[in-house]
Structure 1
Amino acid sequence: MKRGTLPKDVSGIKIHMIGIKGTGMSALAELLCARGARVSGSDVADVFYTDRILARLGVPVRTPFSCQNLADAPDVVIHSAAYVPEENDELAEAYRRGIPTLTYPEALGDISCARFSCGIAGVHGKTTTTAMIAQMVKELRLDASVLVGSAVSGNNDSCVVLNGDTFFIAETCEYRRHFLHFHPQKIVLTSVEHDHQDYYSSYEDILAAYFHYIDRLPQFGELFYCVDDQGVREVVQLAFFSRPDLVYVPYGERAWGDYGVSIHGVQDRKISFSLRGFAGEFYVALPGEHSVLNATGALALALSLVKKQYGEVTVEHLTALRKVLALFQGCRRRSEVLGEVRGILFMDDYGHHPTAIKKTLRGLKTFFPERRIVVDFMSHTYSRTAALLTEFAESFQDADVVILHEIYASAREVYQGEVNGEHLFELTKRKHRRVYYYEAVMQAVPFLQAELKEGDLFVTLGAGDNCKLGEVLFNYFKEEV
């Protein structure tokens, strides 16, 4: 059937969201509620942190999925791209009734089409960069709404900042080319490399997707790109020859112009850096040089919007931006600090690609040189693990102890006898002196209760469900005090 559309004015429209508990879907629900839509939703019965957000919004959420959830005759149905009518009876019923239906990426695209929109993209770094921009929007009082792919620290668990409607800034995802529904006027591009091997057959395939995303920029549209990233350099080179009309703004240590970065080092758990076009230093309170690059991309976009809204950049604007970066504590599952108990620091990070793992661990080692780093990693998807098996095994060099588990399978794939968690363990053992394997996450609890000691940093890494291990251990040591 022909897909539905979202009008610019959604006030009073009944919108039902299938798969509403997902991070992006709940953020979209918050955005739609703020604009006057009458939102309802459905999902599985499992409880997620987004349940609190939806309850606060007063959005009725029905479980489980059922044709009866459409009894209120919604005007529009938006569904998570993870669901298809062949596998979800509720969505199939919406199609059967002829209710205008669209996916989350399509809905995001419709919103972006009606506003001056900016997309943040990249295999790594897009969530943190978007979250930084969200806090900058608040501090600078920009007339903008921001949608982030994770809950932003200090933002009441929310993934959304609602500060106005002139600009729309959103994290845009490359998976299945979803970002090609978005209509950007400006793009921040953080990184490009081969990922989502279940969809992208090769590096050239994902490179082409990013090229087509850049090509969606209008004449004189702006591309802020991290020139330190090889994949970004390659896709920008392709874009430059076919789209010389675009405005290309590089940032990074290799960059010329205002956003050339010089990193000075770590001081009091903050990284000090300067930019070629601005006097004085900036500080970012997150580990890793990649955090400086994310901050610079965020600064570049924020300052371009300041110029558009206010006509000029003042000393006060720069002071506000310095404040945001110095105080920014990240977002959920991105170098997130769970707490410290008995001298053990507990953290959680979503890093699930070898590049992200290496950068995260290197950043933690620099930030906390006195701590022993104990890592619990759960690989995500058989296809990614198989394609990058050697790279995964070599990504833990900055960890002192490594715990591995069975691979966390995607809902989209079935294990067919290829690489599994034990294969990753055996290869990692050859490259690291202290590696342990527990098939199920909770089987590692007794070992870690005995292993962890004062001065350690324990971090769960990955897109699986091993994050619950940190919570269990934190509570255990808390009770032992």
Structure 2
Amino acid sequence: FEVLKRAAVLGLITRNSRSLCFAGTHGKTTTSSMAAHILKSGSFGCNAFLGGEMLNYGTNFLLAPQSAYSVIEADEFDRSFHHLTPSVAVITATDPDHLDIYGTEEAYLESFARFTELIRPDGALIIHENLKLKPRPQDGVRVYTYSRDSGDFHAGYVRRANGTITFDLITPRGIIRNINLGVPVEVNIENAVAAAAAICLTDAWEPEVVREAISSYRGTKRRFETHLKEDNGAGRVIIDDYAHHPEEVRKSIESVKAIYPGRKLTVAFQPHLYSRTRDFAPEFADALSGADSLVLLDIYPAREEPIEGVSSEIIFDKVRCEDKILINKEKLVETLKNRNFDILLTLGAGDINTFIPAIIENLD
């Protein structure tokens, strides 16, 4: 048997299919999952290899041997995405991360620039506006921009009413009007634009399918996943999100506040990795200061050994939120039971989500 890393196998798949590859510090799981759902909902189908479990299908893998299309979540960790040969590449964000691998922001950006060199000469690059990245695509690669409000692909006439979000999708191939966002979170407007943009540049473009699929998309496990919604949202609410980078934490908090304006937001955050906590402690503290109440847990080490002088306290001390508490995870359920929260947002890439069933079970 020849044993290969998963990244190498994905590289083989991209060389033998029309591959849509989604990269970025954050947003890649949702955008790739949305794109896979759109293609699967249409007449072209797709094979998909994703970083999160799609709630529509209960899996992170879709198999369609008859389809020429594959959707790949292109992970920058350990430079895995350098194995790929995209037909269409999407880059959602380049905020520095994984500095335990890259060392500096410059090296991180260079890795993304190298990724853009791998796009097929007859392919396309779709990049979020205003990134620091300077792409280096080969001659023949078409380059497009996107964002929520501007770029070659963007949203127009965004409407919000009774917990729903509706918008028009503006593309070089025309406008798709009145798209209802299946997961009505502000950041998903932009995610839907990116997902649809990738498909727009292929032969699989079916506007009516795009509209219906974005509406029927249920989300990805641990990506802004609602676990409790009492009285249709008028009572207590529990939302879990995989956010583990400062910008992801900030956007997640802002999204909850936009959905439930005027409600008290309690955030329970579990930092992920000693190195990430060390590298971004001030940024984490600033993002978490947007909470009305903060429950900060000890660091989830994952693959790392402890680093001297690095603990959750270096975040906690800088958080401006006055109602804050620092605990170990074993005390989370009892702490939340006694705090009588209104809206609870659990954040982190560790195991904080495993406590949610007990949190719900212990509610008064």
Within the candidate set 458, 464, 468, 2:354 is matched to 468
CA distance in 2, matches of 1:457, 1:211: 40
CA distance in 1, matches of 2:249, 2:198: 26
Give the SS at the match of 2:51: coil
Within the candidate set 404, 427, 433, 2:318 is matched to 427
Counterpart of 2:338 in structure 1 is 450
CA distance in 2, matches of 1:326, 1:368: 21
Counterpart of 2:191 in structure 1 is 294
Letter in 1 for 2:349: A
Q: CA deviation at 1:447?
A: 2.1
Q: CA deviation at 1:273?
A: 2.4
User: Residues 138-173 of structure 1, C-alpha deviation per residue, up to 9 Å, x if partnerless?
Assistant: 211214211221110121x21122333311111110
8 Å CA contact 2:225, 2:241 repeated in 1: yes
Counterpart of 1:154 in structure 2 is 56
8 Å CA contact 1:251, 1:261 repeated in 2: no
CA distance in 2, matches of 1:244, 1:201: 30
CA distance in 2, matches of 1:323, 1:442: 43
Share of identical aligned residues, percent? 25
TM-score, length basis structure 2:
0.92
Pick closer, same or farther for the CA change 1:256–1:425 going to 2, 3 Å: closer
Query: 1:258-407 counterparts in 2 under 5 A?
Result: 259-262=153-156, 264-276=158-170, 277-305=174-202, 308-309=203-204, 317-341=206-230, 343-407=235-299
Counterpart of 2:47 in structure 1 is 145
8 Å CA contact 1:270, 1:326 repeated in 2: no
Q: CA deviation at 1:249?
A: 1.6
8 Å CA contact 2:47, 2:67 repeated in 1: yes
Q: CA deviation at 1:325?
A: 1.6
Within the candidate set 12, 16, 40, 1:114 is matched to 16
CA distance in 2, matches of 1:443, 1:137: 44
Letter in 1 for 2:208: T
CA distance in 2, matches of 1:444, 1:118: 40
* Residue range with higher mean Cα deviation, 162-171 or 357-366: 162-171
CA distance in 1, matches of 2:337, 2:254: 25
Give the SS at the match of 2:180: strand
Q: CA deviation at 1:426?
A: 1.7
Query: 1:31-50 counterparts in 2 under 5 A?
Result: none
- Could you say which structure has the larger radius of gyration? 1
For structure 2, the residue ranges without an aligned partner over 5 or more in a row are none
Matched residue count:
357
Residue 166 of structure 1 pairs with residue 95 of structure 2: no
* Residue range with higher mean Cα deviation, 169-178 or 101-110: 101-110
Letter in 2 for 1:437: L
8 Å CA contact 2:160, 2:166 repeated in 1: yes
Give the SS at the match of 2:168: strand
8 Å CA contact 1:386, 1:419 repeated in 2: yes
8 Å CA contact 2:266, 2:293 repeated in 1: yes
CA distance in 2, matches of 1:368, 1:286: 14
TM-score, length basis structure 1:
0.71
Counterpart of 1:66 in structure 2 is none
Letter in 2 for 1:248: V
Q: CA deviation at 1:420?
A: 0.6
Q: CA deviation at 1:320?
A: 2.3
User: Residues 305-342 of structure 1, C-alpha deviation per residue, up to 9 Å, x if partnerless?
Assistant: 3xx25xxx5xxx32222222223221000001112358
